[in-house]
């Protein structure tokens, strides 16, 4: 029984890793689209910089290099 649980957990972790990668990529696409739309609206420089920083953090996270987004609203 212990072996069955261990094998099941390994498969489950693999599936979760794939789902996390998908969500990171989706988050990157959404952050980039928001960044571009904010530039088009001619937002104040401080807001554009904040959004740009968020998009860069999402891009690093989506790259799978272990950089985690610390949260916050865009």
Q: What is the pLDDT of residue 9?
A: 57
- Looking at 15-19, 34-38, 47-51, 54-58, which range is the least confident one? 54-58
Q: What is the pLDDT of residue 33?
A: 84
Give the span between the Cα atoms of 72 and 27, in whole angstroms.
Answer: 13
pLDDT higher than threshold 50 for residue 7: yes
User: Mapped to the 3 state alphabet, what secondary structure does 44-57 carry?
Assistant: CHHHHHHHHHHHHH
Indicate the pTM of the whole model.
Answer: 0.38
Q: What does the pLDDT average to over 42-50?
A: 71
Give the span between the Cα atoms of 56 and 46, in whole angstroms.
Answer: 15
69: left (phi over 0), alpha (psi -120 to 50) or beta: beta
Nearest alpha-carbon partner for 57 in 14, 49, 15, 40? 49
Query: What are the start-end ranges of the E strands in the chain?
Result: none
């Amino acid at each position: 029984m212990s072996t069955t649980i261990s094998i099941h957990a390994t498969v489950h972790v693999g599936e979760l890793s794939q789902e996390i990668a998908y969500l990171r990529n989706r988050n990157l696409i959404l952050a980039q689209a928001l960044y571009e739309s904010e530039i088009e609206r001619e937002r104040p420089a401080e807001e554009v910089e904040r959004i740009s920083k968020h998009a860069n953090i999402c891009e690093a996270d989506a790259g799978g290099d272990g950089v985690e987004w610390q949260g916050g609203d865009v």
